[in-house]
Each structure stands twice: as structure tokens, then as C-alpha cells.
Chains A and B, each alone.
Chain A
Amino acid sequence: GAGVSQSPSNKVTEKGKDVELRCDPISGHTALYWYRQSLGQGLEFLIYFQGNSAPDKSGLPSDRFSAERTGGSVSTLTIQRTQQEDSAVYLCASSRSILLAGDTDTQYFGPGTRLTVL
């Protein structure tokens, strides 16, 4: 079956421009997660959705970052006025339902969008 897809796979932009990153989760998955992976760093959690709701936005690095999810499916991560430090791979993941500590179910990751800010 289809996995998590993300678009674009690569995005090069100029400092100060806005970018939108898209995530299509696995059909039927109610939970969706966004992460950022920088070179030499682990994955940094950004935000998660349960349905269309994002209960905790504290992981977003600054107010230039926002995310939304519509119809319990597609999600977009928007970065306004991009800065060079925003350059990273942005990963999206989904799971059947929101995962709890000790849950042996898994989140399925997409291939990521590599963002380069010049």
C-alpha cells in the first residue's frame, strides 16, 4: 500500500522567502507528526496532529513556523521569511492513532523534504 509521501523532495529558496512543505499520510492514520533533521543532529520534534487538531505547538522553533491539517489527511508546514538556519530535512510521519509511551505500534515516516535556504 502507499506510504507517507512528502513534496517537494527538495526545495532551494532564498533567505526571506516563504515555503510550504506538504505531507500526505497513510490513508486512515489519524495522527501526524512533523520533525526536523539537521546534519549531525537527531530528529527534532516540531508538532503533531490528532485529527485536524494540534494540541501542542511548543515544539515549533519560532513564530515563523506554522502547520495545519485539513480533512484529517494532508498537512502543510509553512515557514515564513526563511533563514539559513532553517536549512534541514523536514520529515513527516503518521500513525493509526496517537501513540503513547510503551506503545509498540509505530509511526511511519515519509522520505522527507530537503530544504536549503541560500
Chain B
Amino acid sequence: TQLLEQSPQFLSIQEGENLTVYCNSSSVFSSLQWYRQEPGEGPVLLVTVVTGGEVKKLKRLTFQFGDARKDSSLHITAAQPGDTGLYLCAGVRGLYGQNFVFGPGTRLSVLP
């Protein structure tokens, strides 16, 4: 059983479209991170959200942490082919490594 669920699992859209991916859990996390991973590379951190209800913006990417700190969303506006990749959420409940779990990821493909 996945501690963190992500949806959708796969997403293929045209350049210029908007999209939202979700990260859900029944557990409360102290913080939650979003990463993007490209083929043959390790994940790269995009953002860390800490406070329930927090919203962070990174250019065309908007991240939201749920009020109860159990879920998060990533919204991309006007997607570009460079946004293609595997988006992973990771929840932290304590010291990294001891209570640090990743979701299975959403694989996004943005077609030109």
C-alpha cells in the first residue's frame, strides 16, 4: 500500500494547455516536496511546502499544501515541452530518511 498516492499516473497534453496533478495521503506530513525527474537523471527539487494551506509559485508552476497537511497539488499553466518529466511528491514526517516517503509519480508528456 502506497503511503502517498499520485494522480493521474500518466498525462499527455498539448503545449499551451493547463494541468493539475495531485498528491494524496491519509497521513499528516510535517512538510511536502515536489521533484521533477528526467530520464537517466536523479530527481531535482522544485519546492518544499511546510504550512497547511500554503501556496507557492515558481514561474508557471503553482504548488499548494492542503490545510490538513495530508495532500498537495501542482498546477502548471501554459505547459511547454520542457515541462515533460516524472513529477514526484515526497512527504516528510520527521528526520529525513526515517520518515521520508515518495509517491509513485505522475509522468507528464507535453507535445509541441
Residue B93 at the chain A interface, CB threshold 8 Å: yes
A50 to chain B: closest residue by CB:
B97
Main SS at interface, chain A? loop
User: Nearest CB to that of B5 among chain A residues?
Assistant: A42
Residue among A40, A45, A59, A93 with most chain B CB within 10 A: A45
Q: Which B residues are in CB contact (< 8 Å) with A35?
A: 102
Q: A101–B30 contact, CB under 8 A? A: yes
Q: How far, in whole Å, are A44 and B102 apart by their CA atoms in the complex? A: 7
Residue B104 interfacial (CB < 8 Å)? yes
Residues of A in contact, count (CB < 8 Å): 31
Closest to B4 in A: A42
List, in ascending order, chain A residues with CB within 8 A of B2's CB: 42
Q: Which residues of A contact B93 (CB under 8 A)?
A: 101
Interface status of B42 (Cβ within 8 A of chain A): yes
Contact with A along B17-47 (1 / 0, CB 8 A): 0000000000001110000000011111100
Q: What A residues does B31 contact at CB under 8 A?
A: 101-103
Additional 17 contacts, C-beta under 8 A, given A102-B30, A103-B48, A109-B43: A35-B102, A42-B104, A43-B43, A43-B102, A45-B101, A45-B102, A56-B97, A100-B95, A103-B31, A104-B50, A106-B45, A107-B45, A108-B42, A109-B42, A110-B42, A111-B41, A112-B42
Q: Which 3 A-B pairs have the closest CB atoms?
A: A109-B42, A101-B30, A48-B97
